[in-house]
A and B are shown apart, each in its own frame.
Chain A
Amino acid sequence: MRTLVILGGGTAGTMAANKLRDRLAAEDWRIVVVDKDDNHDYQPAYLFVPFGINKSKHVRRSRHAFIDDGIELLMGEIDRVDPEGKQVHLADGRELDYDYLVIATGTTPRPDQTPGMLGPEWRKSVHDFYTYEGMLALKKALKEFRGGRLVMHITELPIKCPVAPLEFVMLADDYLTKKGLRKATEIVYVTPLDGAFTKPVASRELGHHLSKRGIKVEPDFMIESVDQEAKVIRSYDEREIAFDLLVTVPLNMGADYVARSGLGDELNYVPVDKHTNQSTAYPNIFALGDGSNLPTSKAGSVAHFSVEVFVENFCQLAAGQPMTHSFDGHANCFVESGKNKALLLDFNYETEPLTGHFPFPVGPMSLLKESRTNHLGKLAFRHVYWNVLLPGRPMPLPAEMSMFGKNVETESAHA
């Protein structure tokens, strides 16, 4: 009997556990999932709830409801992994032996890492939207907002769902217009990047979407501190941006136990082979989802596609065969742009997001262009997430990216 321990019961951990339970014989393999609590959140809703697009009751369900029979789910805080001794130590003293380990504990916003971010104004005039509590506080703040300077700010890349801040400002534009407050509001988008997005074609297209909404972009802004009393954010090169309502994406970091176990990089992400998710230090450790250092978006779609490749490879590994499946970095992200429309991005390690059409089985969706179909696709995805994706049922979306329908721009070599 061999044991696979999966740390984290989020999107990647749950999918991997369920899919492998179907594939690995119960008499040969024990599968254990460890998480600190029983709350599984549909994280895209963190962005939608403040605007009333999703209700808060639609966000949270029990983890155990999505973990199949035949998988042990343990609740406990992880203290550290001993990769040499092949053991996980929990904070309450329990020890778990493993043959193989999957680290899927994701990434977490860390407002404590920027001086002044956590002060008396935290979740009053200084907000995040990447947490359950942050989402609820921001919903209240937006409801009470009467105009002024609304600043959306990103501390540093990489972040969970890199398009979410863009969606936030476009949804805010729509929301404030409907409330008759848009003329009384200046919306500013503050980013450490040199444009709206990282990759040239998407940056140009999304940049147009911001400028036509009168949203000002402040690029190359590396935050040094938040001054809650003066209501400004300050950069290392001594620029100041005033706010009435600040919505910030704090520094995102992997779990602290990853660092304590000597398994992380400078942001506590686990260095892995980008095609197999296998740790570069220990061949019996894999990292799936946001907690790895894969050079692509930290997004549910990446977790989904890479788990599919991982499951095939792991079954080969379990059978004593070489791993032959390769993850191409495929990401597929809807970008809500307000007025019941959305854009769609589809890309991988080699191909940046391009314009064109996405060959979705129920009909083509437009890439990098607003449409109502894309918006309906995004809304429908919540049901797909709970009922198809997490249980590990087959999705009609190939893990590998397709060039079909994409408009290739010759001058736009890779960023």
Chain B
Amino acid sequence: MPTTTIAGRQIDVDAEGFLTKPEQWDEELAQTLAANIGITLTDAHWVPIHFLRKDFETQKETATLRRVSTVGGIPVKDLFALFPGKPAKKMSYIAGLQKPKGCV
């Protein structure tokens, strides 16, 4: 797995740039990750990101868009407004998690 330097730190990432070691993440890193994909984090952005991190602790995998909406209580429409185009990928990237599994 490649490593990269983000915000002056060595970070382990996969081929698409998603963190492979979620423990290397903190909120400061999230700001940089968000900036990398053109997003400035506001309070509204932090709600789903904190949900993803908390959910990952118990589930050991990244919540899907549906889970963020039904369990996290954030409407899908709002997630598209906060993370335009590909909210599931963008949220998990900023939260330092793998993208949610698209089941085959």
Interface residues of A, Cβ cutoff 8 Å to B: 156-158, 162, 193-194, 197-199, 220, 222, 224, 236-237, 265-267, 295-298, 331, 347, 353, 413, 415
Q: A237-B84, A266-B70 are in contact. Are A224 and B104 (CB under 8 A)?
A: no
Chain B neighbourhood of A220, CB < 8 A? 85-86
Known: A236-B80, A237-B84, A266-B66. 19 other contacts (CB 8 A): A157-B102, A157-B103, A162-B103, A194-B86, A198-B102, A222-B65, A222-B76, A224-B76, A224-B77, A236-B77, A237-B80, A265-B67, A266-B64, A295-B103, A297-B103, A331-B104, A353-B104, A413-B15, A415-B102
- Could you jot down 13 A-B contacts, CB within 8 Å? A162-B103, A198-B102, A220-B85, A222-B76, A222-B80, A224-B77, A236-B76, A236-B77, A236-B80, A266-B66, A295-B101, A295-B103, A297-B104
**Which residues from 52 to 104 on chain B have a C-beta closer than 8 Å to any C-beta of chain A?**
64-67, 70-71, 76-77, 80, 84-86, 101-104
Check B103–A296 contact: CB distance below 8 A: yes
Check A198–B66 contact: CB distance below 8 A: no
Check A199–B71 contact: CB distance below 8 A: no
- Give chain B nearest CB distance to A221 CB in angstroms: 11
Q: Measured between alpha carbons, how far is A199 from B67 in the docked complex, in Å?
A: 22
B contacts with A: majority SS = loop
A contacts with B: majority SS = loop
Chain A neighbourhood of B66, CB < 8 A? 156, 266-267
Q: Measured between alpha carbons, how far is A224 from B75 in the docked complex, in Å?
A: 11
Check B84–A193 contact: CB distance below 8 A: no
Chain A neighbourhood of B104, CB < 8 A? 162, 197-199, 296-297, 331, 347, 353
- Give chain B nearest CB distance to A352 CB in angstroms: 8
Closest 6 CB pairs of A and B: A158-B103, A236-B80, A198-B102, A266-B70, A198-B104, A266-B67
Chain A neighbourhood of B64, CB < 8 A? 266
Check B85–A198 contact: CB distance below 8 A: no
- Give chain A nearest CB distance to B66 CB in angstroms: 6
Determine the residue in chain A with the shortest Cβ distance to B66: A266
Q: Measured between alpha carbons, how far is A415 from B66 in the docked complex, in Å?
A: 20
- Give chain A nearest CB distance to B6 CB in angstroms: 21
Q: Measured between alpha carbons, how far is A413 from B2 in the docked complex, in Å?
A: 13
Q: Measured between alpha carbons, how far is A224 from B15 in the docked complex, in Å?
A: 31
Check A266–B85 contact: CB distance below 8 A: no
- Give chain B nearest CB distance to A299 CB in angstroms: 9
- Give chain B nearest CB distance to A172 CB in angstroms: 22
- Give chain B nearest CB distance to A152 CB in angstroms: 18
Q: Measured between alpha carbons, how far is A366 from B66 in the docked complex, in Å?
A: 37
Q: Measured between alpha carbons, how far is A194 from B103 in the docked complex, in Å?
A: 13
Chain B neighbourhood of A266, CB < 8 A? 64, 66-67, 70-71
Determine the residue in chain B with the shortest Cβ distance to A353: B104
Q: Measured between alpha carbons, how far is A194 from B88 in the docked complex, in Å?
A: 12
- Give chain A nearest CB distance to B102 CB in angstroms: 4
Q: Measured between alpha carbons, how far is A236 from B86 in the docked complex, in Å?
A: 10
Chain B neighbourhood of A236, CB < 8 A? 76-77, 80
- Give chain A nearest CB distance to B86 CB in angstroms: 6
Chain B neighbourhood of A331, CB < 8 A? 104
**Which residues from 18 to 35 on chain B have a C-beta closer than 8 Å to any C-beta of chain A?**
none
Q: Measured between alpha carbons, how far is A347 from B101 in the docked complex, in Å?
A: 16
Chain B neighbourhood of A198, CB < 8 A? 102-104
Determine the residue in chain A with the shortest Cβ distance to B71: A266
Q: Measured between alpha carbons, how far is A193 from B99 in the docked complex, in Å?
A: 12
Check A193–B80 contact: CB distance below 8 A: no
Q: Measured between alpha carbons, how far is A331 from B104 in the docked complex, in Å?
A: 10
Determine the residue in chain A with the shortest Cβ distance to B64: A266
Determine the residue in chain B with the shortest Cβ distance to A415: B102
Most buried by B among A197, A199, A237: A237
Q: Measured between alpha carbons, how far is A265 from B58 in the docked complex, in Å?
A: 13
Q: Measured between alpha carbons, how far is A295 from B101 in the docked complex, in Å?
A: 8
Determine the residue in chain A with the shortest Cβ distance to B65: A222
Across the interface, A237 reaches (CB within 8 A) one of B70, B71, B85, B101, namely: B85
Chain B neighbourhood of A347, CB < 8 A? 104
Determine the residue in chain B with the shortest Cβ distance to A411: B15
Determine the residue in chain B with the shortest Cβ distance to A156: B66
Chain B neighbourhood of A298, CB < 8 A? 103
Q: Measured between alpha carbons, how far is A210 from B85 in the docked complex, in Å?
A: 24
Determine the residue in chain A with the shortest Cβ distance to B100: A157
Determine the residue in chain B with the shortest Cβ distance to A238: B80
- Give chain B nearest CB distance to A368 CB in angstroms: 13
Q: Measured between alpha carbons, how far is A222 from B77 in the docked complex, in Å?
A: 10
Chain B neighbourhood of A265, CB < 8 A? 67
Determine the residue in chain B with the shortest Cβ distance to A237: B80
Chain A neighbourhood of B101, CB < 8 A? 295
Q: Measured between alpha carbons, how far is A236 from B69 in the docked complex, in Å?
A: 13
Chain A neighbourhood of B67, CB < 8 A? 265-266
Q: Measured between alpha carbons, how far is A162 from B70 in the docked complex, in Å?
A: 23
